[in-house]
Homo-oligomer: A and B are copies of this chain.
């Protein structure tokens, strides 16, 4: 069934670009995510979609907390790269990046970020390759003024790529 779909349609969907972080015990990690959405206004709940293979998935599943940093459109590929294409199982991605510690202990990246959210998971759904985590916002803070980095800008202007683990990855034929 999926074979017959016109995959170009999925490229018409619009997204931002975020660093989603988590912490379980003494392990911290963060990764690039485009699928972050606010799902209710009152209370302020957000959802993120994370690949099950990713280290951040393991940390969120264990701790039930995550951070979302909204990237500014001035963020460079050099900064973004390690968060999208390296695993936190192999390197400490946060060792050279500015962040605050949240009320839950979760790291909240402030470098190249317009703002951040700290979220406690209240529900999750197994989507097969990915999980959608939904949570209540515990804290939100503006870091600086600026324009958010969009997924489109990342691809068209920064010439960035999507890793195969992304929910919006389009296989090349």
Chain B CB within 10 Å, residue with most, of A8, A13, A114: A13
| Residue from B2, B13, B167 in contact with A148 in the complex, judged by beta carbons closer than 8 Å | B13
Inter-chain contact A127/B39, CB cutoff 8 Å? yes
Inter-chain contact A8/B41, CB cutoff 8 Å? no
Inter-chain contact B45/A171, CB cutoff 8 Å? no
Inter-chain contact B45/A6, CB cutoff 8 Å? no
Inter-chain contact A13/B38, CB cutoff 8 Å? yes
A39 to chain B: which residues have CB within 8 Å? 35, 49, 127, 130, 132, 167
- Tell me the A1-26 residues at the B interface (CB within 8 Å): 1-2, 5-10, 12-17
Inter-chain contact A5/B137, CB cutoff 8 Å? yes
| Residue from B9, B117, B139, B141 in contact with A116 in the complex, judged by beta carbons closer than 8 Å | B9
Copy count, this protein chain: 2
Interface size on A, residues (CB 8 A): 56
Bound complex: CA A16 to CA B152 (Å): 11
A74 within 8 A of B: no
Inter-chain contact A148/B14, CB cutoff 8 Å? yes
| Residue from B9, B38, B49, B132 in contact with A168 in the complex, judged by beta carbons closer than 8 Å | B38
Inter-chain contact B35/A35, CB cutoff 8 Å? no
A97 to chain B: which residues have CB within 8 Å? none
The interface of chain A, by Cβ under 8 A from chain B, is 1-2, 5-10, 12-17, 35-45, 47, 49, 70, 114-117, 123, 125, 127-130, 132, 134, 136-142, 148, 150-151, 166-171
